[in-house]
Structure 1
Amino acid sequence: MEQTHSRVAVVTGGSGGIGRAVAERLGADGMNVVVAYSGNTERAAEVVKAVEAAGGRAVAGRADVAEPDEVDALFDTAEREFGGVDVVVNTAGIMILKPLVEFDLDDLDRMHRTNIRGTFVVSRAAARRLRSGGALINFSTSVTRLALPTYSAYAASKGAVDALTLVLARELRGRDITVNAVAPGPTATPLFLDGKPQEVVERMAGQAPLERLGTPDDIATAVAFLAGPARWVNGQVVYVNGGIA
């Protein structure tokens, strides 16, 4: 069906590395963007300016993705400022790495709250409020395939995202809404790089046949495809990792 309005995107984690790249790319594609962030107001404001410089319109909205009222307020903002919501990209997430036998349960609960509960809350809001022709893109990880040591809890949280995403795609039968997940491999963002020795980063960069780390723009390109022209891609986990897995 031909769109008679500019598409509107809500991007959670929008002040982070991948989230910012996604917001800018969707703005460059002509979308209006709600840049959702959890803490850094200044960084979110920078992303709003970058989206507008790329050609879109944007506003920032603060929300804890695990809190339904705050997520609903993001959608309210999108509807008030831009008329509705067509795309939801849920990049918000945290990663804590330790061997399973050393993993603190408080850390497990904290990661569960953002990665699983947060994805559930955002996905539920998207399912209720996306317009026909819409797209929900959640974020998984290629570590669910790579099975790297110290990633057990993180991979488990993202395995839950995979399951939720695939089931929701089928539950939205008849709505003309696609539901997919993007599963990045090693990507040069603070989330990935922080705390890793240089030799570890170089070794992981060399594992891909393309012999480099991914960039936020690499991931944003895949998101833009799923958010726009990829109407026949639905109920999938799309691995965006340069062939590492």
Structure 2
Amino acid sequence: MMTARSVSGKVALIAGGAKNLGRLLSTGFAEDGARAVVIHHHNAETKDAAAETAELVRAAGAEALVVDGDLTRPGNVTALFERGIEEFGGIDIAVNTVGRVLRKPIAETTEDEYDLMFDINAKSAFFFIKEAGLKLNDNGSIITVVTSLLAAFTDGYSTYAGGKAPVEHFCRAAAKELAPRGISVSNVAPGPMDTPFFYGQETPERVAFHKSQAMGNQLTQIDDIAPIIKFLATDGWWITGQTLFANGGYTTR
């Protein structure tokens, strides 16, 4: 019989771990007793943020490794996991917060925009789950951040929600395939989060509308999502192959 899992002494890898939700997870796992955290960031623009997050992780008592790379290239995903294993001997928890949002009518969306959105939101997620499945220690956890728009009937987000939609199928298949090793695979679907990731696509009027759809007339806070992700990696390990809509009532299905 398996017992409840703990972060203590484990190694966590956070894709997009340099800032916003990724930073909160990186530091949170360290504060909860993780032995080490692998902090992924995309490129030179996020280098300083990743270095700051690493210092916060070390200040919380864990080791930290910063790895950069464009995860739409599968070779970079492989290298990310291999670097973590080389440095710390293994990885127990893999969380993917990477995503890109675009709000644009279908009629105005270019082929390049379509390819970019699906590369970031679907392709990189697929190969992250693949590498995590190959590289994680037994009884580990794989968690992907998707979006509550998967349950929305709305305009403008065809390539964002569409790019995230396949991740539900990747999750279910991986959950079945990795179950014999005790690895749980799940998704968390936040509502619109109160981070810079959200505001660039919206007008003040639409921000007000999004707020009005959830409890407390507010956007989703990263402080509300991080504990759910940590729960899935610990006491909630029995939840697998599922998407948790964590959004204050913004959408459901």
TM-score, length-normalised on structure 1?
0.94
Contact 1:139 1:161 (8 Å CA) reproduced:
no
What is the CA–CA distance in structure 2 between the aligned matches of 1:108 and 1:215, rounded to whole Å?
A: 28
Q: Does 1:19 align with 2:19?
A: no
Residues 77-126 of structure 1, C-alpha deviations (whole Å, 9 max, x = no match): 21122220101101111111101111111011011111111011111100
Q: Distance in 2 between matches of 1:100 and 1:51?
A: 42
1:152 aligns with 2:141: no
Q: Which moved more, 1:120-129 or 1:5-14?
A: 5-14
Q: Hey, what does 2:38 align to over in structure 1?
A: 34
Alignment partner of 2:240: what SS? coil
Distance 2:192 2:75 in 1: 33
Aligned to 2:219: 213
Partners of 1:107 and 1:164 in 2: CA distance:
22
CA distance in 1, matches of 2:179, 2:94: 18
Identity %: 35
Partner of 2:12 in structure 1?
A: 9
Q: How far 1:225 moved relative to its partner? A: 0.6
TM-score normalised per structure 2: 0.91
Residue 99 of structure 2 is aligned to residue 93 of structure 1: yes
Q: Is the 8 A contact 2:103 2:201 kept in 1?
A: no
Moved more, 117-126 or 72-81: 72-81
Which runs of no fewer than 5 residues in structure 1 stay unpaired?
none
2:110 aligned with 1:104: yes
Determine the structure 1 residue equivalent to 2:65. 59
Q: CA RMSD in A?
A: 1.7
Secondary structure of 2:164's aligned partner? helix
Q: Distance in 2 between matches of 1:51 and 1:198?
A: 35
1:113 matched to 2:119? The reply is yes
Instruction: Describe the SS at the equivalent of 1:172.
Output: helix
| In 1: Cα distance, 2:153 partner to 2:32 partner | 35
Whole-angstrom CA distance in 2 between matches of 1:50 and 1:194 = 27
TM-superposition CA deviations, 1:194-231 (whole Å, max 9, x none): 24222221221121123211111211111111112212
> Mean alpha-carbon deviation: is it higher for 14-23 or for 39-48?
14-23
Corresponding residue for 1:140? Answer: 146
- Length, aligned pairs only: 245
